[in-house]
């Protein structure tokens, strides 16, 4: 009897303790932020980082010369002041004093020179090489750097922002350690990478912007966004970037949701060098048959805005400045007849749904809308890598693309729509007009002048229906309620986590 009673008490106690352990969410004593990501990072070299997770994680560890602020203004980063010469062929930057790399070595102009030269060197396969290709030579002394350019290139200043322009230690570059050792000037220090599972960062107490309030940031891999939302609800994850509008819809009032317009945009790319798309009337028919508002409503649950080609805020295209700002089926049919297809036609569209959450929805919406104008759209669904290899070979008639925007329209489109651009084959369209306009835009230093130039570029692209620009989806960032001070950036960077606090 007594023994049984004792056992019962022990049993109940164990159950209670187990219950508490089970039910209580994992609360840490220190301020540790866990960020949920669906895909693991794929490298440790910031200058070669292209996948979202890698860009976001390494963007907290490394710094660049300039930064882009919440209002998309260029502000000081590792450089505190700068200026072009009169002809715009020379950019001088003065660096911040007292900055140290995470391994303790001081940061100076020699590091900038070595980093930029590494980007320019084809052997490093740096992602941003084309954006600064106009650099002819670099002189560095003390805290001053001078970039000598081959042609006037004002947009190069904006191009100096971002993780692909990370400033590396000349020591690491010389030793060939980039991608193996992680040593930057950013607010968080790299600790470890558990492949397929997590990346751990801790705060950098000597950060030039002041030590972060968070003690650590961990990026944890949880492959589906639905599970990430569940983790947010369970309290095991406190921050996430959500891309699916349907998942975003389920975010409850127990979490904080930031919906911000981004620079990325969705477009129906057309290969204007392939029949029947080499026929301007066919392209215009496509443009006029589509109601972008309807695409946003169905594919993005209403979270997006109609855009023109240029999403850079200072030079934003007017979405109404196009042949058919609203869908006009009659006009579309007229264009088809003018193009020689009075009974409609069938087109194929390459689609990779895994690239972005709204792509599958866009495909369905477009198919349904184009059918009303007599255009049968066949969706050619492929996986990401297949899409890339066919996309690069321009082996498609039309394709639904999710392209990144930049704060400067030059870096956004030079590689696509100039005849010498390395992605012009993919873009499928170029003209002498565009070529000369892009050169003018690059070299002009006056904002008024540039505004006019890029307005002309936009008009040229829309009137020739080079592509059908659809919309810019809102970006969703979700945090736990106790995470305060976060400012989302349209570039997608999570840099503002350096100011964030957890209560």
Partner 1 sequence: MAKKKEVSQRGAIHYYLQSTSGIVGAVLLLFMIVVSICAAMGWLPHNPLDQNVDNLLHAPSSKFWFGTDDFGRDVFSRTLDGMRRSLTVSITAVSLAAIVGITLGILGGYLGKWFDMVITRVSDVFFAFPAILLALAIVASLGNAWYETSLAIAIVYTPIFIRVARGPVLSVKEMDYIKVSRILGFSSPRILIKHILPNVFAPIVVQIALSLSWAILTESGLSFLGLGTQPPNASLGLMVSDAQPLAAFAWWTLVFPSLFITIVVVGLNLVGDGLRDALDPARRSS
Partner 2 sequence: MQGISTLRRLFFSSTFIRIASAITTLFGISIFVFLVLRVIPGNTITGAFGIETGALNPQQIAELRHYYGIDQPMIMQYFSWISSFLSGNFGYSYATGRSVFALTKVALPVTIELAFIGTILGVIMGIAIGMFSARKPGSFRDFGGQLFGLLALAIPGFVLSTAIVTIMANKFHYFPNSLEYMAPWKDPWMNFQQMMFPGLVLGIAVAAPVMRTTRSALLETIDKDFVRTALGKGVPARKVQFKHVLRNSLIPIVTMTGIQFGYLLGGAVIVEKIFAMPGMGRQVLEAITRREYATVQSSVMVFAIMFVTINILTDLVYRRVDPRIK
User: Which residues would be at the binding site for partner 2 (CB under 8 A)?
Assistant: 21-23, 25-26, 36, 40, 42-44, 50-51, 122-123, 125, 127, 129-130, 179-180, 193-198, 220-224, 226-228, 230-231, 233-237, 354, 382-386, 388-392, 415, 422-423, 426
**Residue-level length of the chain:** 503
The residues near 256 (Cβ < 8 Å, ≥ 6 apart) are 478, 479, 480, 481, 483
The DSSP annotation for 19-68 comes to HHHHHS----SS-EEEEEESS----S-GGG--SHHHHHHHTTT---SEEE
Task: Using the minimum distance from each CB to partner 1, give the nearer residue, 263 or 373.
Answer: 373
From the list partner 2, partner 1, none, partner contacted by residue 92 (C-beta under 5 to 8 A by kind)? none
Task: Using the minimum distance from each CB to partner 2, give the nearer residue, 213 or 415.
Answer: 415
Among 363, 441, 488, 492, binds partner 1 (CB under 8 A): 363
Please give the Cα distance from 487 to 443 (Å, whole number).
Answer: 33
From the list partner 2, partner 1, none, partner contacted by residue 120 (C-beta under 5 to 8 A by kind)? none
Please give the Cα distance from 50 to 69 (Å, whole number).
Answer: 21
Give yes or no for a contact between 138 and 146, defined as CB atoms under 8 angstroms apart: yes
Give yes or no for a contact between 331 and 288, defined as CB atoms under 8 angstroms apart: yes
Among 297, 348, 415, 499, binds partner 1 (CB under 8 A): 297
Task: Using the minimum distance from each CB to partner 1, give the nearer residue, 119 or 247.
Answer: 247
Among 100, 348, 367, 390, binds partner 1 (CB under 8 A): 367
Cα 292 to chain centroid, rounded? 22
Task: Using the minimum distance from each CB to partner 1, give the nearer residue, 122 or 252.
Answer: 252
Give yes or no for a contact between 75 and 69, defined as CB atoms under 8 angstroms apart: yes
From the list partner 2, partner 1, none, partner contacted by residue 246 (C-beta under 5 to 8 A by kind)? partner 1
From the list partner 1, partner 2, none, partner contacted by residue 329 (C-beta under 5 to 8 A by kind)? none
Task: Fill in the per-residue mask, 223 to 242: x = in contact with partner 1 (CB under 8 A), - = not in contact.
Answer: ---x----------------
- Give, as one character, the DSSP assignment of residue 198: E
Please give the Cα distance from 251 to 63 (Å, whole number).
Answer: 32
Interaction of residue 259 with partner 1, rule CB under 8 A? no
Smallest separation (angstroms) from partner 2 to the CB of 34: 8
- The torsion region of residue 465 among left (phi > 0), alpha (psi -120 to 50) and beta comes to left
From the list partner 1, partner 2, none, partner contacted by residue 247 (C-beta under 5 to 8 A by kind)? partner 1
Task: Using the minimum distance from each CB to partner 2, give the nearer residue, 255 or 487.
Answer: 255
Stretch that binds partner 1, among 46-54, 331-339, 382-390, 397-405 (CB under 8 A): 382-390
Interaction of residue 459 with partner 1, rule CB under 8 A? no
Smallest separation (angstroms) from partner 2 to the CB of 382: 8
Please give the Cα distance from 327 to 290 (Å, whole number).
Answer: 5
Q: Is 381 exposed, middle or buried (0-12, 13-18, 19+ CB in 10 A)?
A: middle
Q: Which two tokens stand for residue 291?
A: 């109601």
Q: Which two tokens stand for residue 205?
A: 């107490």
Interaction of residue 285 with partner 1, rule CB under 8 A? no
From the list partner 2, partner 1, none, partner contacted by residue 379 (C-beta under 5 to 8 A by kind)? partner 1
The DSSP annotation for 109-141 comes to HHHHHHHHHHHHSGGG--TTGGGGTTEEEEEEE
Task: Using the minimum distance from each CB to partner 2, give the nearer residue, 185 or 198.
Answer: 198
Q: By the criterion CB under 8 A, which residues form the site for partner 1?
A: 226, 244, 246-247, 249-250, 294, 297-298, 301, 353-354, 360-361, 363-365, 367-368, 379-383, 386
């Amino acid at each position: 009897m007594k023994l049984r009673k004792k056992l019962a008490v022990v049993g109940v106690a164990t159950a209670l303790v187990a219950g508490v352990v089970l039910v209580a969410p994992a609360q840490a004593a220190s301020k540790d932020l866990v960020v949920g990501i669906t895909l693991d990072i794929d490298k440790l070299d910031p200058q070669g980082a292209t996948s979202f997770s890698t860009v976001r994680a390494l963007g907290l560890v490394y710094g660049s010369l300039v930064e882009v602020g919440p209002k998309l203004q260029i502000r000081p980063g590792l450089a505190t002041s700068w200026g072009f010469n009169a002809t715009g062929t020379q950019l001088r930057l003065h660096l911040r004093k007292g900055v140290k790399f995470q391994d303790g070595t001081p940061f100076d102009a020699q590091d900038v020179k070595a980093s930029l030269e590494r980007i320019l060197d084809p052997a490093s396969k740096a992602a941003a090489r084309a954006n600064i290709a106009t650099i002819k030579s670099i002189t560095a002394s003390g805290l001053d750097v001078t970039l000598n350019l081959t042609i006037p290139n004002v947009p190069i200043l904006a191009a100096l922002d971002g993780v692909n322009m990370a400033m590396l230690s000349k020591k690491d570059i010389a030793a060939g350690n980039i991608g193996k050792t992680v040593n930057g000037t950013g607010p968080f220090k790299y600790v470890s990478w558990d492949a397929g599972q997590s990346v751990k960062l801790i705060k950098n107490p000597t950060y030039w912007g002041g030590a972060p309030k968070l003690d650590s940031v961990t990026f944890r891999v949880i492959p589906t966004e639905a599970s990430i939302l569940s983790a947010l609800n369970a309290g095991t994850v406190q921050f996430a970037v959500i891309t699916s509008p349907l998942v975003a819809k389920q975010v409850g009032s127990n979490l904080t949701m930031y919906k911000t317009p981004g620079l990325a945009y969705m477009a129906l790319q057309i290969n204007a060098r392939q029949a029947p798309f080499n026929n301007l009337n066919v392209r215009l028919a496509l443009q006029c048959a589509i109601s972008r508002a309807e695409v946003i409503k169905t594919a993005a649950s209403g979270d997006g805005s109609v855009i023109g080609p240029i999403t850079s805020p200072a030079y934003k295209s007017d979405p109404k400045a196009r042949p058919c700002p609203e869908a006009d089926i009659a006009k579309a049919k007229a264009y088809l007849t003018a193009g020689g297809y009075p009974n409609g036609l069938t087109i194929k569209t390459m689609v990779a749904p895994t690239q972005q959450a709204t792509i599958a929805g866009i495909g369905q919406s477009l198919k349904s809308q184009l059918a009303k104008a007599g255009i049968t759209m066949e969706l050619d669904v492929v996986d990401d890598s297949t899409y890339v290899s066919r996309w690069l070979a321009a082996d498609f008639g039309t394709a639904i693309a999710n392209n990144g925007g930049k704060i400067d329209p030059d870096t956004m489109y030079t590689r696509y729509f100039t005849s010498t651009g390395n992605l012009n084959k993919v873009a499928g369209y170029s003209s002498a007009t565009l070529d000369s306009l892009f050169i003018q835009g690059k070299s002009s230093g006056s904002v008024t002048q540039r505004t006019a130039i890029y307005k002309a570029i936009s008009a040229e692209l829309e009137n020739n229906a080079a592509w059908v620009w659809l919309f810019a989806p809102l970006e969703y960032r979700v945090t736990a309620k106790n995470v305060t001070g976060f400012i989302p950036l349209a570039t997608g960077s999570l840099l503002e986590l350096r100011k964030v606090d957890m209560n």
